[in-house]
Amino acid sequence: MRYRHLIIALGLAIAPAGLDAQQTAPAARIDAALTAATRVGIPTSLLESKVQEGRAKGIPDARIAAAVEARLDALVRARTALDRARAQAIGAAELSVAADALQAGVTESSMVDVMTRVSAPRRAVAAAVLTELVELGVASDVALARVHAAIAQGGEALVNLPAQASENARGRVRVNGPPLEVDATVRGRGRGNNRND
């Protein structure tokens, strides 16, 4: 029930920005997103860092505002999914990694699986690896299975998965076991190409 309240509160808080996004000043859109985040319990630092990053790169304020709104949406989606799954002790950093996963195209169920089944010390790394695999074109469910298998192997297996997937996508090497099933339409796509700046 709590997730329904989060979505309703978010919708009411940013509706004016969403309806008149082209006509509303970027600064007002950013402020509206920060206010909405506060109302639904999302740490504003997760959005403020997006603003600072954009300004440091010289990105126009309208694009920064759009990125902040998209980031807020991903954070709320991640928080809502984790609340539904009754995830315990998910801090701001882990919420940020969960939102990264959703923005990269990881399915909600795969993101929740990693955030609830992987132990806290490895959770953020596992979610980041899952995200990178999906960005490389590996199907979300296949990537999730690979992440769990690598965790079971221990050592450097988890952190080596993205490099193996990248090499496999280029056809240079085969990893142990079946290929990583990289979609041919996304071969060669670099990390971060589908994220908002």
Contact 150, 163 (CB under 8 A): no
Instruction: Say if residue 197 is in the same domain as residue 110.
Output: yes
Both 197 and 112 in one domain: the answer is yes
- Answer whether residue 1 is part of any domain: yes
Same domain, 36 and 123: no
pLDDT on residue 192:
42
Q: What is the mean pLDDT of residues 28-47?
A: 95
Average pLDDT over residues 22-33: 87
Give yes or no: residues 77 and 110 share one domain: no
Give the number of domains in the chain.
Answer: 2
Are 112 and 73 in the same domain?
no
User: 42 or 89: whose pLDDT is higher?
Assistant: 42
Q: Identify whether residues 63 and 151 lie together within a single domain.
A: no
> pLDDT > 90: what percent of the chain?
60
The answer to whether residue 74 is domain-embedded is: yes
Q: What is the pLDDT of residue 10?
A: 52
98 domain residue, yes or no? no
Q: How far apart are CA 177 and CA 9, in angstroms?
A: 47
Percentage of residues in the chain with pLDDT exceeding 70?
Answer: 74
Same domain as 141, residue 74: no
The model's confidence at residue 110, banded by pLDDT at 50, 70 and 90, is very high
Residue 92 belongs to some domain of the structure: no
Give the whole-angstrom CA distance, residue 154 versus residue 162. 15
- Between 21 and 29, the higher pLDDT residue: 29
Q: 44 lies in a domain? A: yes
Question: Does 60 reside within a domain?
Answer: yes
Q: Are residues 110 and 175 in the same domain?
A: yes
The pLDDT of residue 195 is: 44
**Average of per-residue pLDDT values in the chain:** 81
Residue 59 and residue 114 in one domain: no
- Banded pLDDT at 81 (limits 50, 70, 90): very high
**Same domain (yes/no): 73, 127:** no
Is there a domain that residue 100 lies in?
no
Query: Is residue 91 scored above 50 in pLDDT?
Result: yes
Domain membership flag for residue 97: no
Look up the domain containing 64 and give its range: 1-84
Predicted confidence (pLDDT) per residue in 124-176, tens digit = 999 999 999 999 999 999 999 999 999 999 888 898 888 888 887 676 444 44
* pLDDT average, residue stretch 164-190: 53
pLDDT band for position 191 (cuts 50, 70, 90)? very low
pLDDT of residue 171: 62
| Segment 111-134 mean pLDDT | 94
Rounded mean pLDDT, 29-39 = 96
